[in-house]
C-alpha cells in the first residue's frame, strides 16, 4: 500500500475535502439507510453540514482537522476535538469510497495516536446501523460504553507511559450540586460531562468556546455578546426578545430562516440581498408581489 500520511488541512482544501466527505457519507446512507427513498434521519451516517463547504471551513478553522494523503493524493480526512492534553474525540473520519477496504482507516487511527502521544483517552460515536464501523472500532481497541437505537458510544484508553493526571485534572468524578464562588477556572476545559441544570451568574466567559453542546431549554439572559460569533447552530424555536443589536450591524449569511417572525422590532436600515423570499410578508403584504409591482413601475418609467 502506498504510504499514508496526515497533514493539517487548510482552507484551500475545503472544497475537495467536502466533495470526498459527501461521496463517503452518501454511499453510507445508500448502504445502511436504503438510499434516497429512505425517510430515516441518522446524523451519525449523514452528520449536519457534511455536504457544506462552509461547514468544512469552520471545522478547519476551529477544530483539529487532518487531511489524509495517499502518496500525493488527498483521499479523506479526520476531524478531532481535543480537550486539554489527555482527552481526544474523533468527530468524523472519512475515506474516499473507491479506496476503502485497503487498511487506510486503521493506519489513520494509528497515525493520529502517534501524532498526539499525550492523549490517553479517545472517544467517538457511530450509528448502530453501520455494522462495519462497529467491528472496525472494536478491532482498533475501542470499547462500547453506551448504546441506544440511534448511537453507539466508544472509548479507548491508552497507557501513554506519561505522568498520571495532574492535580487539576478531573475524570469520572461526581461534583453534582457543587458550588464555585470567587473561583479561578480560567482556561479550563469541559468535555463528555453533564452540566444539566447548571447555573452561571456573574461569570467572565471572554474568549470561551462552546462546541457540540446541547443547550435545549436553556435560559440565556442579561449577557454581553458583542463581537461574538455564532456558527453552525440549530436554533429552531429560539425566541429573541428585548434584545438590542444597535451600533455594529448584525449579519446573517447562508442561514435558513423559513417561518421566522419579526414582531414589534426596529429594523431601520436593514438590507436583504440575494435571498429566497418565497412567501415572505411585511404587515400581511407579499414582498414578492410588492417587488413585482415595483419592477413594472420601473420598466414603465
Which pLDDT does position 80 carry in this prediction?
97
- What confidence tens digit (pLDDT) does each residue in 213-261 have? 888 888 888 888 888 888 888 888 888 888 777 777 788 888 888 888 8
Which pLDDT does position 225 carry in this prediction?
81
| CB of 70 closer than 8 Å to CB of 99 | yes
Q: How far apart are the first and last CA of the chain?
A: 70
Dist. CA 4–CA 100, nearest whole Å: 13
| CATH superfamily of domain region 4-157 | Gcn5-related N-acetyltransferase (GNAT) (3.40.630.30)
Q: For the chain, what are the domain ranges?
A: 4-157
Dist. CA 123–CA 208, nearest whole Å: 22
- What confidence tens digit (pLDDT) does each residue in 45-98 have? 999 889 999 999 999 999 999 999 999 999 999 999 998 888 999 999 999 999
| CB of 126 closer than 8 Å to CB of 137 | yes
Sign of the C-alpha dihedral computed for residues 117, 69, 57 and 49 taken in this order: negative
- What confidence tens digit (pLDDT) does each residue in 120-177 have? 999 999 999 999 999 999 999 999 999 998 899 999 999 877 655 566 788 888 999 9
pTM: 0.80
Nearest CA-CA partner of 56 in 38, 34, 72, 74? 74
Amino acid at each position: 500500500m502506498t504510504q499514508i500520511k496526515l497533514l493539517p488541512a487548510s482552507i484551500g482544501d475545503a472544497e475537495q475535502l467536502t466533495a470526498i466527505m459527501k461521496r463517503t457519507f452518501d454511499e453510507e446512507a445508500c448502504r445502511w439507510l436504503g438510499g434516497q427513498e429512505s425517510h430515516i434521519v441518522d446524523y451519525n451516517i449523514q452528520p449536519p453540514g457534511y455536504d457544506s463547504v462552509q461547514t468544512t471551513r469552520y471545522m478547519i478553522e476551529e477544530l483539529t482537522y487532518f487531511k489524509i494523503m495517499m502518496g500525493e493524493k488527498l483521499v479523506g480526512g479526520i476531524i478531532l476535538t481535543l480537550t486539554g492534553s489527555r482527552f481526544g474525540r474523533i468527530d468524523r473520519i472519512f475515506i474516499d469510497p473507491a479506496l476503502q477496504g485497503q487498511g487506510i482507516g486503521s493506519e489513520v487511527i494509528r497515525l493520529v495516536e502517534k501524532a498526539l502521544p499525550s492523549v490517553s483517552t479517545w472517544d467517538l460515536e457511530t450509528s448502530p446501523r453501520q455494522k462495519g464501523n462497529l467491528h472496525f472500532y472494536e478491532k482498533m481497541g475501542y470499547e462500547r460504553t453506551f448504546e441506544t437505537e440511534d448511537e453507539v458510544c466508544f472509548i479507548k484508553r491508552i497507557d501513554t507511559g506519561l505522568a498520571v493526571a495532574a492535580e487539576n485534572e478531573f475524570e469520572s468524578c461526581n461534583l453534582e450540586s457543587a458550588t464555585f464562588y470567587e473561583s479561578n477556572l480560567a482556561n479550563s476545559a469541559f468535555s463528555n460531562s453533564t452540566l444539566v441544570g447548571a447555573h452561571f451568574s456573574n461569570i467572565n466567559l471572554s474568549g470561551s468556546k462552546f462546541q457540540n453542546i446541547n443547550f435545549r431549554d436553556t435560559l440565556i439572559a442579561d449577557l454581553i455578546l458583542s463581537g461574538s460569533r455564532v456558527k453552525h447552530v440549530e436554533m429552531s424555536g429560539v425566541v429573541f426578545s428585548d434584545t438590542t443589536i444597535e451600533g455594529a450591524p448584525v449579519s446573517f449569511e447562508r442561514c435558513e430562516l423559513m417561518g421566522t417572525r419579526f414582531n414589534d422590532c426596529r429594523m431601520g436600515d436593514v438590507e436583504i440581498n440575494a435571498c429566497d423570499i418565497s412567501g415572505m410578508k411585511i404587515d400581511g403584504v407579499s414582498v414578492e408581489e410588492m417587488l413585482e409591482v415595483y419592477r413594472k413601475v420601473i420598466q414603465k418609467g
